[in-house]
Chains A and B, each alone.
Chain A
């Protein structure tokens, strides 16, 4: 096997099996899992910019209620730049929808699932490369439909990302007509895209592993993506059926969710959250997987409790099916049912805590390298702990009934879900060398991390205080309530922090594009990591390995092993005593 990029390219060209593909087949309709991964990354980053922009407008309205947004007179013409209440509803609805379905899912699941699974299990590609291509393009169409909703009369959906019926089911209630229909159609289309992806991931992980890659030698990020795919497979169809019913209610005059014809608004909540709670684990599990990889690599220590990590992810996946009622404590449910949802919700904290303690155990006594990916992974662990602890607290029905639909909830889910952005930055910086063949700038990366981490906490932590002070979620103008006027300085402070948080992302964007074209060329294994993707050239050619795909000899976290001189021991390297090559066996050579 060749170590350098140049040699790999030479092999690439002379190999009769590697077809030379034209521009369209290489960059647009590619069946290469790595290109599809990059496509998902760019889709997600673009939507991150759009979703972030919506968040800035929301914070403007809350910080300086009913004052014109500077420079946005053209957008809100009738009010000379003031965000009208209907537009505000649209902003928070679309902010959440875009961030959840078109940022976190495409980047964490779509991009890294596609890019990493074949490379890390030693396969040449996904099990169904064409289905994979179709999955991306279906998802992209879903994105276009979702964005098109901004431009139809009445604007985009404004019933919250949870689209509670009957608010979402009757046009007159929100004044949004086709915007809400397009929201349903877009999620239907995106559901099909995600299901194609999930089927592909599961088949690939089960059937395409390299020789020696047993289930308990899989890197934890692959475990997390595998479990995520299973959750997607069984949770998303329920959302799909629910949006079909909602769409029928809106277009065909059925009465699934409308009380007047014998329908039941609560039915929507049940269906939505039966999908919705597994969904939050779909979002967070890949982030946990990435964190495990990065913490172990940069602590130069095996992950603490590998099997416990895998089993706790399986436990989370099972438990995530029986906790959905904790979103509905104030819906008037039977207190006994509320009690059982409360208990199951507290139980799910146990496997999550096992993971957190294992991360700390991994750090303990390690020789830690504070590279950018490591900083972001630590950022994810910190925000996850805060969000997780507030989660246990408000799982209690007496607490939740008090703080339900206040900013405390908003604080909680931003610490967990928006905290995933740290795992996202960790994975982008960690795998950037493998994806694009260049290393990102360390200095810019660190500045970006520090600013993001500070302003993230300054933006979201005060939300806890506002929530306990009684500030309602989705409120348009807090100053209209006398009891909230005293809290307005906090809103002011948070909005300034949020704008600075947004501005800090300029460092990331600059670093990303600068490194893409002018960054330092990456070696095959810049972080001295063990997993199989680092045995391929950077970036790997179509087909991933020029010679035979690797054979696996051990688990993925053999750092600082006493059996070899270096502090890492790649999965594909035969034991030196077996090959007689001495302990300085070449990386990837066999």
Chain B
């Protein structure tokens, strides 16, 4: 009797699988192609499915990294008797607000390149990527200019927890923007040369990272500049 049940189970395996994982489990491609080489994946570029999942997890890591910094910032700020300290310069709220809009606009241009609307037309994404790159660069330059002004006003890394938190949080975000811009530049070169389609995994991955950098900024702007 037990054997019979088991055989039934074996035959109904597909259904069983669906029940267990809530979907069709990943399958190795069958047949000759698979047998020919275990390096199939590296020869043709890794499957985009893996890359997207890997990227999503990397963004999770980045989120936790900034969550640590933001938590530390809030901890110090909520325990401080006065914030900002009377003797320290105020942050440029207005200019940075305009700058925030620029960065958000770069997120929008990226969306135009790569989002659902772009998938229908088979045009080249290189121009839209260039626009995104330009907006991102302007953001970084304005940030750098404001930093230089603040340093001149006497706010530095070592001027208490006010300066320390400001430069660490904003500086590490700036480093991430710089990294994303480098990636964007490399992608744009590739898009020009190889005529990448807007739905190409390489465009998609870079866009994921760009969205993260853009979406993180309003949070930091709100916490560090506004509140």
Contact = CB atoms under 8 A, between A and B. Distances in A.
A139 B216 CA distance: 29
A264 B79 contact: yes
A213 to B, nearest CB: 7
Contact of A238 (B49, B50, B64, B161): B64
B37 A17 contact: yes
Interface residues of A, number: 71
A242 B68 contact: yes
A262 B21 contact: no
Interface string B16-43: 1100110001111010001111111110
Interface in A210-243: 210-217, 233-238, 240-242
A563 B6 contact: yes
Nearest to A242: B68
Give the interface SS of chain B, mostly helix, strand, loop or mixed.
Answer: helix
Interface in A126-142: 127-131
Nearest to B79: A264
B157 interface: yes
B10 A553 contact: yes
A575 B9 CA distance: 10
Contact of A203 (B20, B36, B50, B162): B50
B220 interface: no
B54 interface: yes
A343 interface: no
Contact of B68 (A215, A241, A563, A574): A241
A491 interface: no
A263 B72 CA distance: 10
Contact of A263 (B3, B21, B76, B157): B76
Nearest to B62: A237
Contacts of A544: 38
A189 to B, nearest CB: 15
Contact of A574 (B10, B164, B168): B10
Interface in A259-307: 261-264, 267, 270-271, 274
A262 B54 contact: no
A31 interface: yes
A563 B168 contact: no
B179 interface: no
Given A242-B68, A547-B35, A209 B25 contact: yes
B160 to A, nearest CB: 4
B98 interface: no
A215 B20 contact: yes
A19 B38 CA distance: 9
Interface residues of B, number: 62
A588 B152 CA distance: 73
A203 B75 contact: no
A233 B60 contact: yes
B161 A255 contact: yes
B2 interface: yes
A271 B164 contact: no
B75 A267 contact: yes
Contacts of B50: 127-128, 203, 207-208
Contacts of B75: 264, 267, 270
Nearest to A127: B50
Nearest to B66: A241
Given A195-B61, A212-B17, A553-B10, A262 B162 contact: yes
B93 interface: no
B13 A553 contact: yes
A24 interface: no
Interface stretch (A246-254, A332-340, A362-370): A246-254
Nearest to B20: A214
Contact of B57 (A199, A216, A264, A547): A199
Nearest to A123: B28
B49 A207 contact: yes
B36 A17 contact: yes
A16 B32 CA distance: 12
Nearest to A211: B27
Interface of B: 2-3, 6-7, 10-11, 13, 16-17, 20-21, 25-28, 30, 34-42, 46-47, 49-50, 53-54, 57-58, 60-69, 71-72, 75-76, 79-80, 85, 157-165, 167-168, 172
Q: Which 10 pairs across A and B sit closest by C-beta, in order of nearness? A: A543-B38, A17-B37, A241-B68, A253-B158, A254-B164, A262-B161, A237-B64, A237-B65, A214-B20, A238-B68
23 contacts: A124-B38, A131-B54, A198-B57, A200-B54, A202-B57, A203-B50, A207-B53, A211-B27, A212-B13, A212-B25, A213-B25, A237-B64, A240-B65, A241-B72, A242-B72, A245-B168, A249-B164, A254-B161, A255-B160, A261-B159, A543-B39, A548-B35, A575-B10
